[in-house]
Amino acid sequence: MIILRFTIITFFATILVGKETMQSNKLLPTRQLYKTTNYDQVPDPVLSWVGAGFFTQYTISNTGQSGVFEPPPGWNGYNGEFPIGYGAYNGRTGEFPNGTNQFYTWGAGLWIGGKSEYFNTPEDRSITIGNKTIENVRVATTAYYSEMSSISKLWQSNQLISAVSDGKLEENKGEYLFGQKNKTVEEYQDIWAYFEPQPGDYHNPASDTIFRLDFENVNKRRNKFLATSSLGLDSSLLLLDPFREDENGNIRGDIISDEDTYCVFGDYLNERDGKFLWNRGYDTRGLGIKVEQQTYSWATDDYLYINYKITNMNDFPLDSIYVGYFMDNDVGYADDDLIGFDRSLNLGYSYDSDSEESGWIAPAGYLGSVFVETPVDSIGDPSKGVPPAGNQLNNWQIGLTGFQTWIRSDLGQSEGHPGDVDDDEMDHIKYFQLSMVDSFEVFEEPQDVRQLATSGPVIRLDPGNSIIVTVALVAGSSLSDLKKNTQSAIDKFNSGYIGAEAPPSPKLSVQPAHKAVYLSWDNFPETVIDPFTGLADFAGYRVYRSLSGLQNDWTLLADYDVAGDSSEWSGIVEYSKGTSNAISKFIGPLGSGDISANPSIDAIEDRFIEAEYTVELMDHQIEIDGITLDTMKMMIYNVSNLQSVLPNIAAMTTGEGFRTYAEYDSTAMKAGNGTLSDIELYRNGYFIYLDGFFVQISNGEYIDLDLDGIISDIEIAQQSLNPLVGDIFIIKTYAAEEIGGQSGLSYTYLDDGLIDGMNYFYSVVSYDRGVPIADIPQLESSLYQNIILVRPQHMALELAGEPKISDYIHSGPSTGQFLKAITSYENLTGHQYGIQFFQNDASSSENETANYGILIDSTLGGVGVVEPLKSIIPGESYTDTLTIAGNGFDEHGNPLPPMGVIMPGTFNLTLDNNILSDQINGILKGVINGDTIVAVINYGDGTIHLTADMTAGLTGASPSAQYSYNPLILESINTSSFTGNLNPETVYGVASTSIVNDQIITQDHGFIFMVTNPALSIDSVYWSLGTNVSDVFKFDLRSSSLDPYDYYITFYDQSDSSVA
């Protein structure tokens, strides 16, 4: 039994008192439109800041603007309205790492240049540089001062309800406007995936349904990735569906990332009709283009994506179009920056010359841009050997064609032309920079330097046609980190943004107290399906605290994981060498039985080995009816152990070698049938067993190589369905491992010992099980999804002295702790309290693990009770609940609180005029008719239990109980419910009870507390050398239970593994 005692100390105080049908064959739900159908209204410009991950606070706008602006103090997120109090012109955008206040970008944005014979007004300037003449050109830009008009509103998937511009109710203000990813849409929320524009949403939309979800383009990449992936991913989960339904059959659609945005801007309107972020309007004259902008970012990434779809809105073609992404990165102080370029990644990046910035708490890092998608030139240029449009060009992208750098205010001297490219009305010079093909520059002298990544030319863009580009903005703490993150961004884009995702963080609430903070959170992350695995792979919560809120300044306070949770016995098979269409698959681990039903195989641990294997197909001949036939046999090699795995007809029985089977029972996880000879030969679709698992290698199917919808004879002749001699398959297996400390989940935490008035940052994150077969570790949600700043409360000035809770006195071997906090000074009692822990049934337990605790106020003492119990039926198990447990409901239907807890040692149970006395450990014991009778009492919930064996010799008449109860109960802060049972890792309030006018009245005692689970600690270790079978290490341990155990670890020699 574990006992904690503590005292409340008080001082005297004076208290001052019907639309189009889409591909899914589902109809869009009908929405009530405004009476007018006039869509001439141009939405107002607006700003927001994006970046759900470690690179964040990057400026975006529905005019295309990036950089220049910073969010106003206390900005809590985008709500559709212009942010009053924003900052500007100070280079504070693009923060990395999140929470450091270290910014990397002054100005940035899109450049689009094009030619036309119609660009011949006096304002369309020309220039000749060397032998290159630039004329009839215009360039539309969004950097520094966007010259684009807003065309649509700016929408953000995590947008908050303003209850003003969005027409929502005031009661929902501050909630999410859109239904969130993988979550049921609330009645007051809109669907992100699509909408029907209403006046003021979108200037003259081309359709009555606008898709914010770019599902068609992204699904093309996802289909390609899924076709080549060996991970066995579920396409129904991963292919985006704007009409995906929730579990109730309601449309919720999909969202791509943790933070999607969508808006449209352009320069094709008459200038007088447009709405601009700056009062200067167009720089000279418009290029005549419309741009749909979408951004994507994830909480676990160091990068974000900006996707642009650029459409020619003129009634004439645009020629020689170039697209560029411009960045004026100021890594802290502007004049000491450098620019580098990596041709292998097509990555241009800015960095500080000495990696240090005054006032920065972390070393200066790197920020770069990379085009992960460039325009497709569907026209081609036959004069230069580029064929016209055709199937072979469907996937042809121009790629990165230039990377330029220059410094400010040198009037073009560094570039060989008059005028500064940064200035207004310099379209001809900007176009010159865009068109510098095969020029890739760096800047190696510290300066205030700019960079421009370019792609082009697109030979011709006809009216109404579009080109698409996607840029990834990537940050890194070092150059190697930047390159690693860039490759990750490229890979993620190519997969259609497919990747394992951490479960979201829970919704966090905090309550400050005197020198303490109480935290509570919901369980929503436990229900979220990871689209990568198709599983609800939530594994636990972690509680963090920080004094600064900076990325690398967090302390882990607690880790609550799913008890009994573990990774799976898993594996993956990869086609490593060969060109056939053969298919390989990891089937699964061996089940509890085998083909011989050998009872000695009772656990997968007996067989499954975590290792890497190769399966090589070798030339082989067999003789059938006197005829020699060519075939293939499998040679299997354990790469990890450097041993061959030999064929063995009894492989499943003996645990050694491998063999093939024709059938596999997925329920029993075992194989059956197959040849009893030639078990190492390749046979199409047979199952291969070795070392506790099954794999399968099969012939594939013919593929439409040129994607024309027809598999021709030529294509058939070019393909082999079955694997060939010399082909190699690699098998990688992963053993199941426990995840976390098996502590069990909790939804509350109490952090005490804090300083009143000091700032503390808290975050509760979720983490998953990871995907070993894809080399993906456990993923944890971002600390910044629910970060909260809180200050513990100062003591009220009217109080004389300092009310406090004394330190606790602990007896027993547990390493758990008692955490407490004052919530109401005036309700403190000055009483002494004790906590005791018990087992549910100490008479039958095989260990000393406690199951519950009770809190007793020793100052209140006990209230004596004599209570009749229900009759016992001899020979049947018996359970009854005492009246102090609070069974029943009040007149309003609310459950009655318990009246208190039983005081250990006071309970007597009368049976057949004999008494079973309290053993002070939850056991009642007595002798009736010469037999020892044992009953169990739960002091916390007031239940009594006897087994059928114990009641067999009783008459069962008129049982009764005599006991004293302590009128003190606990209130679970998380559930707002009263109980007598105390469980570790749960925050409780304390209240005493009394009966007034036949009603139970509770009185708060002014504090909350929590008992933690013990931490694992090793007291001692000793080693004794055993026989050749085992070497034994012994150590004393304090486990996650409340009492100590002795554990032994045995290391078996490999030669004795079958004996063991």
The pTM (predicted TM-score) of the whole model is 0.65
Closest CA to 59 of 130, 161, 154: 154
How do residues 304-324 score in pLDDT, each as one tens digit? 999 999 999 999 999 999 999
User: Rounded to whole angstroms, what are the CA distances from 50 to 95, 298, 786, 899?
Assistant: 10, 10, 16, 53
90 and 101 in contact (C-beta within 8 Å)? Answer: no
Return the H-helix or E-strand segment holding 1034. Answer: strand 1030-1038
Torsion of CA 780, 782, 788, 791, to 10 degrees: 70
Confidence of residue 1059 (pLDDT cuts 50, 70, 90): very low
How do residues 637-652 score in pLDDT, each as one tens digit? 999 889 999 999 888 7
Which residues on neighbouring strands pair with residue 66, listed in sequence order? 108, 143
Confidence of residue 1 (pLDDT cuts 50, 70, 90): very low
842 and 938 in contact (C-beta within 8 Å)? Answer: no
* φ and ψ at residue 888, rounded to 5 degrees: 110, -175
864-873 per-residue burial string, b: 16 or more CB within 10 A, e: under 16: ebeeebeebe
d(CA 482, CA 368): 8
Exposed/middle/buried for residue 830 (C-beta within 10 Å: 0-12, 13-18, 19+): exposed
Strand order in the sheet with 818-822: 818-822, 999-1011, 988-996, 968-972, 977-979
Structure tokens at 157: 């998937």
Confidence of residue 169 (pLDDT cuts 50, 70, 90): very high
Count the helix, strand and coil residues of the chain and give each as a percent rounded to the nearest 5: 10, 40, 50
805 and 829 in contact (C-beta within 8 Å)? Answer: no
How do residues 649-679 score in pLDDT, each as one tens digit? 888 777 788 988 887 766 655 666 666 678 8
**Other C-beta atoms lying within 10 Å of the C-beta of residue 819:** 19
Torsion of CA 134, 135, 141, 146, to 10 degrees: 130
SS3 864: strand
Which has the minimum average pLDDT: 12-16, 344-348, 1035-1039? 12-16
30 and 262 in contact (C-beta within 8 Å)? Answer: no
d(CA 640, CA 636): 12
d(CA 21, CA 5): 69
Torsion of CA 838, 839, 840, 846, to 10 degrees: -170
**Other C-beta atoms lying within 10 Å of the C-beta of residue 165:** 15
**Other C-beta atoms lying within 10 Å of the C-beta of residue 810:** 17
How many CA atoms, within 13 angstroms, populate the side-chain half-sphere of residue 1? Answer: 16
What is the pLDDT at residue 222?
A: 92
Question: Who contacts 130 (Cβ-Cβ below 8 Å, separation ≥6)?
Answer: 416
d(CA 569, CA 738): 11
**Other C-beta atoms lying within 10 Å of the C-beta of residue 824:** 15
d(CA 42, CA 238): 36
Quickly list DSSP for 676-743: SS-TTB--TT-EEEETTEEEEEE------TT-SS---HHHHHT--SS--TT-EEEEEEE---B-TT--
Exposed/middle/buried for residue 494 (C-beta within 10 Å: 0-12, 13-18, 19+): middle
933 and 950 in contact (C-beta within 8 Å)? Answer: yes
d(CA 433, CA 422): 11
Exposed/middle/buried for residue 719 (C-beta within 10 Å: 0-12, 13-18, 19+): middle
d(CA 700, CA 721): 5
Structure tokens at 349: 């990046």
d(CA 484, CA 347): 11
d(CA 792, CA 514): 6
Structure tokens at 49: 């800041």
d(CA 168, CA 175): 10
Q: pLDDT exceeding 90 applies to what percent of the chain? A: 44
Closest CA to 654 of 1059, 1051, 1029, 1030: 1059
What does DSSP assign to residue 783?
T
User: Rounded to whole angstroms, what are the CA distances from 7 to 139, 635, 834, 921, 987?
Assistant: 76, 73, 9, 24, 18
pLDDT over threshold 60, residue 1048: no
Residue with tokens 């960045």: 327
Torsion of CA 385, 390, 395, 397, to 10 degrees: 40
What is the pLDDT at residue 381?
A: 54
Higher pLDDT, 1058 or 746: 746
Which has the minimum average pLDDT: 237-251, 309-323, 490-504, 736-750? 736-750
Which residues on neighbouring strands pair with residue 978, listed in sequence order? 971
d(CA 877, CA 980): 24
54 and 301 in contact (C-beta within 8 Å)? Answer: yes
pLDDT over threshold 90, residue 1023: no
What is the pLDDT at residue 1054?
A: 44
101 and 95 in contact (C-beta within 8 Å)? Answer: yes
d(CA 673, CA 691): 19
Which has the minimum average pLDDT: 235-239, 305-309, 533-537, 800-804? 800-804
294 and 437 in contact (C-beta within 8 Å)? Answer: no
981 and 854 in contact (C-beta within 8 Å)? Answer: yes
Which has the minimum average pLDDT: 689-693, 790-794, 866-870? 790-794
Which has the minimum average pLDDT: 284-298, 318-332, 544-558, 714-728? 544-558
What is the pLDDT at residue 841?
A: 87
d(CA 891, CA 902): 26
Closest CA to 940 of 832, 816, 818, 856: 856
820 and 1008 in contact (C-beta within 8 Å)? Answer: yes
Q: pLDDT exceeding 70 applies to what percent of the chain? A: 82
886 and 899 in contact (C-beta within 8 Å)? Answer: yes
d(CA 959, CA 882): 12
pLDDT over threshold 60, residue 29: no
